Structure 1
């Protein structure tokens, strides 16, 4: 919990110190630009004009000629005056010296006194002694991975230290070799942003207004950002510090390094822990995908090798078996009868993903997802130790009140923790907005379902066209075609569905941000959590609804010839291909997953590149002027407060494709692996080259996303069990193999004939029978029903109930087995590795010892006595304490 009394004392102290400055000193700070010779400064300089004071933050603004120009100018004047009162030093670049001739730049430097004051306020940990705990040693297999490793100087840019929360009264305790470099640039910009976010700029409508975010929202300032430490394509020259941006680009952001590990410590040092932990998660997820991809590829290869020897496909393709089976029409009147062997290639292709390995892979992925989440807990715990986040508390910039919340609040109440009056909004004033928010989310999810139904109607309405065009008179010939009407409509329908998904997703992103603002969340953390819930619910329905339809609804409620089920009493329900619905689910999953990943990577690379090119093209109008470091960064794209949110959302959506429907597509982990390898480098490239540097912020976990991953992991066990049971054809085959086969040498012989029921053509109603008459009297359809000559004709036969019982048994057994293994693994794998627990204890012990020795030495110096007298003094004090204790 933050000590707000301490914070306010520090802020008041800073204001008092600044007010003691003479008017002469203040005037010097304001008018310093007149003393500067422009040709003496390098365009890559990250210092003030004196070449000594480092630029920690930059604000920019443009003269506004609108009616509120004077108000904005007054706000800026007051804000900058108050920044100086806190101890920050400012230097202003006139618009006449800027490249575009219209932008002012306010450069901010935090001197040593400000840094030490706010480092104590923020509880920043700094080194007190080099650690004597050795880094983890490489295992024997590590030498095999030598080409993947980065140089140690890049992987570990700084030694490990024992650390303690900084205190300005204990400066001698810390390893301060140079005050200018003691605080890394990420800590410096974090401190400055903290000051900017709390600095007042006036009183309006009787309320105290403060914070850079409010000024940015009102366009008083156009941007606020920390500087990159140099160019990404060349190292910095003295006196500039080591160019970490260049090191990151060389060892992380280049696509030729796709096989290399990431310089995680360097990412954390440069961008902060919050962005660093995202790349740790993405890298760990990618590593774990490698194992799932290998097993999935092995299952695919098994299906490929066994495809030609598959009895079902052989019978379907055989002119004497499949060629003699006349199938019932797939639509009313327009569609003709067709021979089963016309789906020969489709049945072979279906076997690639619907074979004996499907069951194994579904069980394997249920165990894999458990191992992934359990090992991620361990990785996260190790990361907390390595990055000094063991005692981490949520950062103030996440807990502080949003300006929008304060502006809307008309009530105030006493905070029970801080004992201060703060803005308060009663629940009854929020209820209308919550209702609007809930109604909007429900409306848009209903719109997704409606669009999915529209795609289904499209497939049903054009199916007859495809069927009449592709089959016509050739349908009764012994042909082998892959593009059956089912596959054709499935392909076009999937592509159309993907386009609709992208369109709906684009508009919903805008609307979800708007309705979240309308809810008036109290803090930034509440805002992000609310937006996460809305976006994930919508993405879940948007991306997965069509897959759920194909997996669990399509072909399940068709009816039978003569008594079909109709959608809106007009369109006949879709039937599955004779090879099963699994191949259609595979097609749907492949198009949506692959399309989303390709579109996402292209968008992430092209969008900022195009915007930056256009912005630079407009800005570079005066080539004779210095295109300075702050101007170069100003023309880059802003990553934004929700930039990381969308990265997580994209990764979690992909995780859903990999886990929820993986039984239908064993190659999904391989596609995800390839995408993530590219994604890591695309994200690294755009952060390093196309975006302004982000403000460093802390995080000790991936937050609410971890709970979402756990929920999807549990759901994936059920979905894959149902896919194997009801979408795949593996259970009916096993029932036939063990209970109905009459061939001892080749048990699967006759399965195709057994799985098709017989229908008497004369029983077709007039509105469903084909317009053209044929000379055969029966046709076949996919189901288990009694033949027309039985007294129970067209009712489900006993084999149907046997198959249904086997499916339900499989679901129960698979779920119990997988969940049992999940619980055992979760129990066996500790959340925090044993060696990390020992290291944390060792570090705490050493930190306490160092602090204790420091205080004793300081006390000794203050008393001015020798060692013997000091020891005697300590003994006397301890005896007094023991006597007092015994007396009590």
Structure 2
């Protein structure tokens, strides 16, 4: 059996139904996918793929591959509002009627759309497959269908449809892997290639990771001599704290302009946000949507707010208390280790000084992981209707706990104990330990497990089919069992915490920036590797910025201004100017802090988020669109006038 025997079209997306799915449900779903658009179908191509026995066990026969004709994909590109480069170099929404005026459109359009764009279009068409007059999914009386609502999302919520994912393109993946991570180089990442293969959302994350790493280089270069001189006089770090303040203020403002430049070149900056469908797991009593007028599940907002304030909020506060309790245990261990060292200073007791911090760093990572699962469960239980709302509530819960769990001990050491030597040691241990754990858990362990699994699948396929060539069958089987990539949440969270370590306390431990640079260099390679070989290929996610994480980083930069001003105020060198009045010192530090915060907000206002030349291009496109609309209305009015005569 060859690929041509398996499929008569280019396979793009895989649908896996539950292995016990009833035949009438399968027949109904396939007919809806194949049916023409005017009949309410998706007008896509679909074929069954996997049937057989592996190791004496029947494998899931309900695996299907989905593809499309080029004509359908081009029409779909217009439906999703895809932006492509026009002949004049501007980025415009693609329209099939105007297709000849788009750059790189030749012939019938073959190759005009990337594989990732084709897969995104297919996903959109599947997601917008609407229920008509069916009361329920055939064969499943309890799986009710609501007119006008997404069929695919309903099947997912009832666990009839287990997963939908896009297939990897082996040749494109091989090229991307070589230019991205297979060769060590001192150059920028191929972000345009990453965007073409994985989409704008993931490309923006890697763009931010690259920008953050390069932005840290000046901090690392300045911080290294501070650390090598090993000055115990922490007055010298006042200058570094001032530089830290300037850096954390400028850093995010410049990034917003860089991300706007990338988003414009990728056609997502002016792209309108699609109407959001309810999450597959959203549930409620049947009612009328006040926006669409359609019948759909409605969940009272009052009930959701009660869940948030009476359950979720107390749970978060309880977790913060537990984190504080664990922190105090850590300090007890730290004081015990210092006491042992003071009684008998030698090589072994000097090593013992680092043990409490290492244990605490490991405990922090474990607590963060456990809390993440609890936060996901709670946010899911709150029953948010939209995915964006769900993500915002989840990010808020996770950020509050992670910030407190990771930084509370450092704030305590800095401002309560005022022990800068211990602060330096604790920060170094937390940074190094957390980076090692992250690299092991995020890249090496998943890769090792996936590699073992791939070998087993390959062996089973050879045993089942003998010497027949089955590259597509084997590829689908391998990718079906791969872990699903859950998005950039954890990746941004890691960078958020690293940004906090550098912007808050690197004036005390100047080597922090260098350690983060080294971590991020390895992070680029490990993240690129796991995207190519550890996880299923994710669907592309159109994005014009990094979303709620921009606000998270900006909040951290405000906290950094306050923290660094307070650290400067604790310096004996600064205290010497106010020998008789602590109150005057505090008022002076607060005044300076307010001036710096005012400077920060003025800078954010003065520096436009979108470069001027891009603003002009966007304004020109808007003007041309309005003129074209006026012209069309005039022509329609003229036609109506002729008809009346």
TM-score when scaled to structure 1? 0.64
Q: Considering fraction of residues, name the structure with more helix.
A: 2
Q: How many residues align?
A: 613
Listed as ranges, the matches of 1:416-495 within 5 Å are 416=291, 418-434=292-308, 435-461=310-336, 463-470=338-345, 491-495=354-358
Contact 2:375 2:394 in 1 (8 A): yes
Listed as ranges, the matches of 1:135-534 within 5 Å are 161-171=89-99, 174=102, 175-199=105-129, 201-202=137-138, 204-205=141-142, 207-208=144-145, 210-216=150-156, 218-230=158-170, 243-254=171-182, 256-257=184-185, 259-301=186-228, 303-304=229-230, 307=231, 350-351=232-233, 354-356=234-236, 358-396=237-275, 399-405=276-282, 408-416=283-291, 418-434=292-308, 435-461=310-336, 463-470=338-345, 491-534=354-397
Aligned twin of 2:434 = 596
Contact 1:90 1:108 in 2 (8 A): yes
Moved over 6 A (4+): 97-101, 845-849, 851-856
Change (3 A) 1:691 1:206: closer
Alignment partner for residue 106 of structure 1, among 64, 70, 84?
A: 64
Matched, 1:610 2:388: no
**How far apart, in 2, do the equivalents of 1:627 and 1:213 lie?**
32
Aligned twin of 1:714 = 558
Aligned twin of 1:150 = none
Change (3 A) 1:204 1:295: farther
Matched, 1:688 2:466: no
Aligned twin of 1:762 = none
Aligned twin of 1:120 = 78
Contact 1:415 1:421 in 2 (8 A): no
**How far apart, in 1, do the equivalents of 2:622 and 2:347 lie?**
67
Contact 1:173 1:854 in 2 (8 A): no
Aligned twin of 1:822 = 600
Contact 1:124 1:166 in 2 (8 A): yes
Aligned twin of 2:39 = none
Change (3 A) 1:377 1:208: same
Change (3 A) 1:274 1:92: same
Change (3 A) 1:247 1:359: same
Shift in Å, 1:421: 3.5
Shift in Å, 1:251: 0.9
Question: Larger C-alpha radius of gyration, 1 or 2?
Answer: 1
Q: What 5-or-longer segments of structure 2 have no aligned partner?
A: 36-41, 132-136
For 1:214-236, what per-residue CA distance to the aligned partner results, in whole angstroms no more than 9, with x for missing partners? 54565534432111111xxxxxx
Contact 2:200 2:540 in 1 (8 A): yes
Contact 2:492 2:549 in 1 (8 A): yes
Aligned twin of 1:14 = none
Shift in Å, 1:298: 3.9
User: Which is bigger in relative contact order (C-alpha 8 A, separation at least 6)?
Assistant: 2
Aligned twin of 1:56 = 12
Listed as ranges, the matches of 1:558-569 within 5 Å are none
TM-score when scaled to structure 2? 0.86
**How far apart, in 1, do the equivalents of 2:269 and 2:389 lie?**
23
Change (3 A) 1:609 1:84: same
Q: What 5-or-longer segments of structure 1 have no aligned partner?
A: 1-37, 64-68, 132-160, 231-242, 308-349, 471-480, 556-580, 740-798, 860-873, 882-888
CA RMSD of aligned residues (A): 3.3
Change (3 A) 1:49 1:419: closer
Contact 2:337 2:353 in 1 (8 A): no
Shift in Å, 1:411: 3.9
Alignment partner for residue 52 of structure 2, among 73, 96, 100?
A: 96
Contact 2:50 2:473 in 1 (8 A): no
Shift in Å, 1:452: 0.7
